[in-house]
Chain A
Amino acid sequence: MTVAEGALERTGLVGVDWAKLLGILSIALGAIAFWVALPPLTVRSMAVPIVIGLAGVGAGVLSWRGGHTRLGWTGVCIALLCTLFGAIATNATEAHLEVVITWSALTAATLRFATPLTFAAIGGLFSERSGVVNIGLEGMMLMGAFFGIYGADKTGSWVAGIFIGMLAGAAMGLVHAFFSIQLRSDQIVSGTAVNFLALGITGFIYIDTYGNEGTPSDLPQVPDVNLDWLGSIPPSGLGSYLERAFGGLNLLVWLALATVVLAYIVIFKTTVGLRIRSVGEHPRAADTVGISVYATRYAAVTASGALAALGGVYLSLGFVHSFTENMTAGRGFIALAALIFGKWKPFGALGAALLFGFASAVAPRLQNVEGWATYGTLFQALPYVLTLIAVAGVIGRSIPPAAIGRPYEKQ
């Protein structure tokens, strides 16, 4: 028994998990250490973030000694990083900081960049929870991005575009399902094939249809949701923040957030979700009680394709309003990482997608500041390094569904 524990016992507060609270406190202190150096507070003395940050490091160490090794170390790492960033930020001129940190614009941009990742990650969630690795998310997204535009162009309606895009993604999902479930191909190999195929198919039809001129500029677009009334919420500072951050977001951004909630309910609160999870954890047992492993996996992987495609549709029809070859540019893989970072849970995946989105939102703003442009590029590597650290188990092991990656053979 350590001294700290002995002291705690005498105070009679043993029931509370102090070590865990300290771990959370260390992360919070780290965040505050960085935040004070940024607008609107913009503290100019380097000592302030350092003191707060070191307090965070101390809390992290105590948490580690108290038995929460992973949480404690995470706290220490985050507090150290934030102290460093905070100290650097106090040296930056205020004008520069204000170019980068406009919280309302940053929030809106984060949500915009996170939306395609969220759709694809939730898609991956269905597939992987049912026991099928989906490395083909990238290709399914790309199918959605192209056929969303193609459908909207041919039918003149964005609603039809969304459906055609989702259908194309579902078709790719079906290919992946057929090969990995029916023919018991290696799921990673079959997913890689889907990525190649999608790249070739979309590129071929795109060049064949639109040639070198690109997609027409007068395409129907998914509308933005206008929430001007947010601005009248008192106090005025909060109101204007809400209006600028959430007042003009695209319909699909809101749909992505709704999808996360919906996915949570479906996966964890319904019979369908229970079936999907049981097939992913112990297919033999599921089969024994009469759940069709093949049918469930087929449905999950196809739905996964449709959802990933919706992310692609947002990218082309809702965000940039055009299509270019390979426009998803690896976002499907990032979504896969977000899913694993989020421990195969809907809200975890959303959180990770927001983190990646935030990095994408900050980077171009850094590039607007004279002399900081190079750091903007470097900054984009940060979320991947963080994911790597997370995958390495510092934040806590991500435990995949037990039967993931294993083809099921009927008996």
Chain B
Amino acid sequence: MSDTAPPVEPEPAPSLAARFELYQRAGGIITPLLTAAFAFFVGGLVVLFVTGKSPIETYRAIFDGTGLNWFFPWVTGAERDLAALNLQQTLIVTTTLILCGLAVAFAFRCGLFNIGGQGQYIAGMITAAQVGIWLPDLARVPHMVLAAGAGALAGAIWAGIAGILKATVGAHEVISTIMLNWTALWIGTYLVGFGGPLQDPAQEFVPVMKEIAPSAKLNVFWGDPVAQGLHIGFFVAIAALVVFWIVLNRTTLGYEVRAVGFNPDAARYGGISVGRSYFIAMAISGAFAGLAGAVDVLGWLFRVDQTSVQVSSQIAFIGIAVALLGRNTSVGIFFSALLFGALYNGTSTRNLDPTVFQPELAGNLTLIIQGLVVLFVGADVLILYLWQARRKLRRRAPGAVARP
């Protein structure tokens, strides 16, 4: 920079959403696949060098624990039954992760980072459970819809607080959603805990809510309803993926949300109310997370205890990784939720064969893999650089590489 140059204002960095848009054009589906493959490769190295076990056998055991071998036609008999059971569990986790991933992704598309999935999940879970306990005489369909809807609404309201604060006073959504997480965690612990207003009066010494009425329980369409079969919440999650795509790509609202995410100043200049978009994006985002909590409690938990309130932080954080790896698109989120759901389930103490690899270790291996995925998916500059280097290489030798 020359000495005579006028003082230059720091250029506004491209917003998060703009970066993702750029990144999306950079590598198609190849880069997330490469990222995931690289993360698994490093995970394998960790297995090999730290524990001295065979990474291939470990991964195979984890894979068998996920139940994904059910899709192989040569798996038969008792093995197939076990695979079906495992796959149901994997898909139950996938359901939750799809919804949590959508919660992060929708906010991302508006340039917001919703780290408050935990609080919204808790709000949705407890509200849905309470609606499920009330009105035991209601017919099945309205009861299920009402309970799930109440959960989504509670999540939307909880996230909406952060949205309003962002829109009116500019409070950073990361901080306000973290604070809302902790507030929800402690209020939730209080509500269902000893002597709390929602604790089951019949079980004075257990910090747990009453069980929801049978009419509010989601139908199980695959597997044993008593032994945690796959519930119709899975289809709710698939429907949510479609809704996500339609709202973002085929409605004015979605257009405004994406415009704000791309460049708030330009959007404001174009006549879009930025504050309103922030609020709506946060509320919709929270509705997804609230729905995740509702579907969990109506589909397989049936009663909320303190553990399920506390475990929520894990689920919501994996949701972030799901959204990042899935690049905030419907299809991407489905596959990354399946990947992380499978990892989560395949490395659980129940599903991983301890003679092959210690499940507690494998659970931490999952976390390392998730960390690497997030780390490298975020490094879009690195990927763009590699991408451009590849193109340069092509241009230099046009005859050598066939053009697609």
Say if the beta carbon of A54 comes within 8 Å of chain B.
Answer: no
Say if the beta carbon of A94 comes within 8 Å of chain B.
Answer: no
Residue interface mask B355-375, A partner, CB < 8 A = 1: 000101101111111111011
Are B371 and A194 in contact (CB-based, < 8 A)?
yes
Say if the beta carbon of B176 comes within 8 Å of chain A.
Answer: yes
B115: min CB distance to chain A, Å: 8
A340 CA to B170 CA, complexed, in Å: 14
With A196-B321, A405-B13 as contacts: A208 and B7 at CB distance below 8 Å: no
B22: min CB distance to chain A, Å: 12
Chain A interface helix/strand/loop/mixed:
helix
Are A334 and B182 in contact (CB-based, < 8 A)?
yes
Inter-chain contacts of A212 with B (CB < 8 A): 360
A403 CA to B11 CA, complexed, in Å: 10
Inter-chain contacts of A179 with B (CB < 8 A): 375, 378-379
Are B50 and A284 in contact (CB-based, < 8 A)?
no
Inter-chain contacts of B165 with A (CB < 8 A): 388, 391-392
Are A384 and B169 in contact (CB-based, < 8 A)?
no
Are B194 and A374 in contact (CB-based, < 8 A)?
yes
Among candidates B190, B367, B380, residue contacting A374 with C-beta atoms closer than 8 Å: B190
Are B378 and A190 in contact (CB-based, < 8 A)?
yes
Are A381 and B182 in contact (CB-based, < 8 A)?
yes
Among candidates A193, A340, A400, residue contacting B378 with C-beta atoms closer than 8 Å: A193
Are B186 and A288 in contact (CB-based, < 8 A)?
no
Inter-chain contacts of A67 with B (CB < 8 A): none
Say if the beta carbon of A189 comes within 8 Å of chain B.
Answer: yes
Which of A15-23, A197-205, A260-268 lines the interface with chain B? A197-205
Closest to A187 in B: B378
Residue interface mask A282-301, B partner, CB < 8 A = 1: 11110110000000000000
Q: For chain B, residues 328 to 382, give those with C-beta under 8 angstroms from any C-beta of chain A.
A: 358, 360-361, 363-372, 374-375, 377-382
Among candidates B169, B172, B374, residue contacting A189 with C-beta atoms closer than 8 Å: B374
Q: For chain B, residues 115 to 134, give those with C-beta under 8 angstroms from any C-beta of chain A.
A: 115
Say if the beta carbon of A385 comes within 8 Å of chain B.
Answer: yes
Say if the beta carbon of B248 comes within 8 Å of chain A.
Answer: no
Say if the beta carbon of A373 comes within 8 Å of chain B.
Answer: yes
Are A200 and B371 in contact (CB-based, < 8 A)?
yes
Among candidates B13, B175, B324, B375, residue contacting A406 with C-beta atoms closer than 8 Å: B13
Are B375 and A193 in contact (CB-based, < 8 A)?
yes
Are A407 and B13 in contact (CB-based, < 8 A)?
yes
Say if the beta carbon of A135 comes within 8 Å of chain B.
Answer: yes
Say if the beta carbon of B45 comes within 8 Å of chain A.
Answer: no
Q: Which of B321, B360, B378 has the most CB of A within 10 A?
A: B378
With A196-B317, A336-B178 as contacts: A201 and B368 at CB distance below 8 Å: yes
Are B183 and A381 in contact (CB-based, < 8 A)?
yes
Say if the beta carbon of B87 comes within 8 Å of chain A.
Answer: no
Inter-chain contacts of A405 with B (CB < 8 A): 13
A149 CA to B278 CA, complexed, in Å: 44
Are A330 and B182 in contact (CB-based, < 8 A)?
yes
Are B182 and A192 in contact (CB-based, < 8 A)?
no
With A282-B10, A374-B190, A377-B190 as contacts: A388 and B179 at CB distance below 8 Å: yes
B353: min CB distance to chain A, Å: 17
Are B19 and A186 in contact (CB-based, < 8 A)?
yes
Are A207 and B360 in contact (CB-based, < 8 A)?
yes
Among candidates A204, A285, A384, residue contacting B361 with C-beta atoms closer than 8 Å: A204
B67: min CB distance to chain A, Å: 23
Say if the beta carbon of A158 comes within 8 Å of chain B.
Answer: no
A393: min CB distance to chain B, Å: 4
Among candidates A135, A204, A374, A385, residue contacting B368 with C-beta atoms closer than 8 Å: A204
Closest to B180 in A: A388
A392 CA to B176 CA, complexed, in Å: 8
With A192-B320, A204-B46 as contacts: A135 and B182 at CB distance below 8 Å: no
Say if the beta carbon of B301 comes within 8 Å of chain A.
Answer: no
Inter-chain contacts of B174 with A (CB < 8 A): 135, 188
Are B10 and A403 in contact (CB-based, < 8 A)?
yes
With A183-B379, A200-B365, A203-B364 as contacts: A392 and B171 at CB distance below 8 Å: yes
Q: For chain B, residues 173 to 198, give those with C-beta under 8 angstroms from any C-beta of chain A.
A: 174-176, 178-180, 182-183, 185-187, 189-190, 193-196
With A185-B381, A196-B367 as contacts: A392 and B180 at CB distance below 8 Å: no
Are A384 and B186 in contact (CB-based, < 8 A)?
yes
Inter-chain contacts of A388 with B (CB < 8 A): 161, 165, 176, 179-180, 183
Inter-chain contacts of B196 with A (CB < 8 A): 374, 377
Are A393 and B169 in contact (CB-based, < 8 A)?
yes
Inter-chain contacts of B380 with A (CB < 8 A): 185
Are B317 and A378 in contact (CB-based, < 8 A)?
no
Inter-chain contacts of A304 with B (CB < 8 A): none
B337: min CB distance to chain A, Å: 16
A330 CA to B378 CA, complexed, in Å: 22
With A207-B358, A380-B186, A388-B180 as contacts: A196 and B370 at CB distance below 8 Å: yes
Closest to B184 in A: A381
A192 CA to B190 CA, complexed, in Å: 28
Are B363 and A190 in contact (CB-based, < 8 A)?
no
With A186-B16, A193-B375, A380-B186 as contacts: A200 and B10 at CB distance below 8 Å: no
A-B contacts, 16 of them at CB < 8 A, read A185-B378, A186-B16, A188-B113, A192-B317, A193-B371, A196-B371, A197-B368, A203-B360, A207-B361, A284-B8, A336-B178, A337-B178, A377-B190, A388-B176, A388-B179, A406-B12
Interface residues, chain A, with chain B CB atoms under 8 Å away: 135, 175, 179, 183-186, 188-190, 192-201, 203-205, 207-208, 212, 282-285, 287-288, 325, 330, 333-334, 336-337, 340, 373-374, 377-378, 380-381, 384-385, 387-388, 391-393, 397, 400, 402-403, 405-407, 411
Interface residues, chain B, with chain A CB atoms under 8 Å away: 1, 7-10, 12-13, 16, 19, 46, 50-51, 113, 115, 161, 165, 169, 171-172, 174-176, 178-180, 182-183, 185-187, 189-190, 193-196, 313, 317, 320-321, 324, 358, 360-361, 363-372, 374-375, 377-382
Known: A201-B364, A204-B365, A284-B8. 8 other contacts (CB 8 A): A192-B374, A197-B368, A200-B364, A200-B366, A204-B50, A207-B361, A334-B182, A388-B183
Which 4 A-B pairs give the minimum distances between C-beta atoms?
A200-B367, A196-B371, A197-B371, A200-B368
